[in-house]
Amino acid sequence: MSSRLLRPTFRALRGIPPTTIPIPTRQFRTSSPKMAVQELKSVEQFNTLIASKPLVAIDVWAQWCGPCRFISPVFEKHSESDEFKDKIVFAKVDADEVPDLSQELGVRAMPSFFFFKDGAKVSDLDLVGADPGRLEKGLKTLIE
């Protein structure tokens, strides 16, 4: 019985063209591109970066490291902040992907942060651990 009811309705609707329902769209715009944290994939890329930029901050991290995942957004936020974005180049190194660079930097634990001024490592500012306050203090000291 139900097929009898549906069949005439279906035949009647077959001649009507399908309608489109307009879906509102929203476009997103950004005011200006934000400075991204550079991903270093080799020792050569690292050497080129510190030789060509006066101030460099490097975050050495690993995917399996919980504290690295905690501090990473803080590091990225500083790279976009007005206080640091035009003064310091921010870079990240995955310790498991570039073990030679981790060894060259003397990584003992993760996360580790290293700061370079005019191509030379500023040893006084080396930071081990996920401490947002000490990270910000190190960045401020670097630009002084």
Q: Per-residue pLDDT tens for 10-64? A: 556 566 666 666 666 666 555 544 557 999 999 999 999 999 999 999 999 999 9
Segment among 17-21, 27-31, 103-107, 113-117 with least mean pLDDT: 27-31
Q: Is 65 a catalytic residue?
A: yes
Query: Is 120 a residue whose pLDDT tops 60?
Result: yes
Give the active site residue among 55, 65, 71, 139. Answer: 65
pLDDT of residue 5: 53
Cα separation, 120 vs 143, whole angstroms: 14
Nearest to 46 by CA among 113, 105, 86: 105
**Residue 97: band (very low, low, confident or very high) from pLDDT cuts 50, 70, 90:** very high
How does pLDDT run across 38-47, given as a tens digit for each residue?
999 999 999 9
Mean pLDDT (the chain, rounded): 85
Structure confidence at residue 136 as a pLDDT band (50, 70, 90): very high
In the predicted model, what is the mean pLDDT of residues 2-15?
A: 58
Q: How high is the pLDDT of residue 124?
A: 84
141 included as an active-site residue:
no
**Where are the chain's structural domains?**
38-143
**DSSP letter at 55?**
E
Burial per residue of 7-45, b for 16 or more beta-carbon CB atoms within 10 angstroms, e otherwise: eeeeeeeeeeeeeeeeeeeeeeeeeeeebebbebeebee
Which of these is catalytic: 37, 58, 68, 107?
Answer: 68
Task: Give 38-143's CATH code, choosing from 3.30.70.270, 3.30.70.20, 3.30.60.50, 3.40.30.10.
Answer: 3.40.30.10
